[in-house]
Amino acid sequence: MTAKISKIGILTGGGDCPGLNAVIRAVAKTAINDYGIQCIGIKDGFEGLVLNKMIDLSYENVSGILNLGGTILGTSNRADPFNFDIENTGNKQDLSSQAVDNFHKAGLQALMCIGGDGTLSIAYNLMQKGIPCVGVPKTIDNDLFGTDITFGFDSAVHIITEALDRLHTTAQSHHRVMIVETMGRYAGWLALYGGIAGGGDIIIIPEIDYSLETVCERVHERNKKGKRFSIIVISEGVKMPSGDYQIKTRDEGSHDPIRLGGISIWLARKIEKMTGIAARATVLGHLQRGGSPTSTDRVLATQFGQVAMKNLAEKNFGVMVGMNCGELTTTPIPDIANKQRLVGPNLPIIEIARSVGTSFGDI
């Protein structure tokens, strides 16, 4: 009979998003209440595992954090133990063995990894070195395989919707084209759902080819019908006609070094030049990742945390929890690592948007 798990580590990796603290709370409280397992918080993602930065997560210090944005443990999207930047000098080394040593020295028997594709890819690599892991999907981008929805997504869509509601009044008053740029990397989920919820007239996402001519025709068409303004929602991962991305910066220390941004500014200039109608761009950026989680994300994060802890306690390692067709499920981490779930151009939600008059710039 194998020994019962008595002590685990919890970390949050990658970018922050609403709902991380709700997961930490759910994992820790389930561990303590249902299994009598001690929880250790690893600070600043995998950096804490490499540099041995850990704190005790008692019942008391995970109480009252359900509604808080961000993560009480801190996070990092640069700290890959297999390619670790020593004191941010650019000198990178494989310190994964050091991370494994710290894991064992702390008396940990398993690791709960809360994060996106980068975090789960690192978790998969650590599993090859003997660290049992369970994953919880986190990203506002909603682009992870193995789950229909990630916590953080609903909160981000809510922020996009509110921004569009506010911009409508300015667009109407000044008879302008207002362009809102969302996050999402190479997936269009945020622009799609935020655009539909906020009444976007044109939604441009990476998965559906568009043309500038079609976009401008749509703007002119609205003007002819007496609607002297247009709201356009565009995902940061949309390419220019040249096939190139609008790249804001590069961060070579990150799992994904390309920092997208600025496609809305480029589009605004093109629309003004081609139509003669004033166009203004708003890049929402990190506003989409901040603030308190919505009630939907709080519930989803709590569900994920409880199910993830149950799998860990039962030693069902190497899986990520998820929500598929309304059911809580698990998927082997190797099946989702280094993959991305994109918007299918034939999804029913696309057809629904077209039926209410939304253009995707393609017809």
Write out the catalytic residue numbers.
Answer: 141
DSSP summary character for residue 56: E
Question: Nearest-CA neighbor of 323 among 331, 333, 315?
Answer: 331
Nearest-angstrom CA–CA distance, 353 and 201: 10
320 SS3 class: strand
Nearest-angstrom CA–CA distance, 41 and 363: 51
List, in sequence order, every beta strand (DSSP E) within the chain.
Answer: 7-12, 38-42, 54-56, 84-85, 92-93, 111-115, 133-137, 177-182, 202-204, 230-235, 247-250, 258-260, 279-283, 319-324, 327-332
Nearest-angstrom CA–CA distance, 36 and 346: 47
Contact indicator for 32, 59 with CB cutoff of 8 Å: yes
Question: Nearest-CA neighbor of 140 among 262, 18, 308?
Answer: 18
Beta-bridge partner residues of 230: 177
Angle at CA of residue 127, ends 123 and 133, nearest 5°: 60
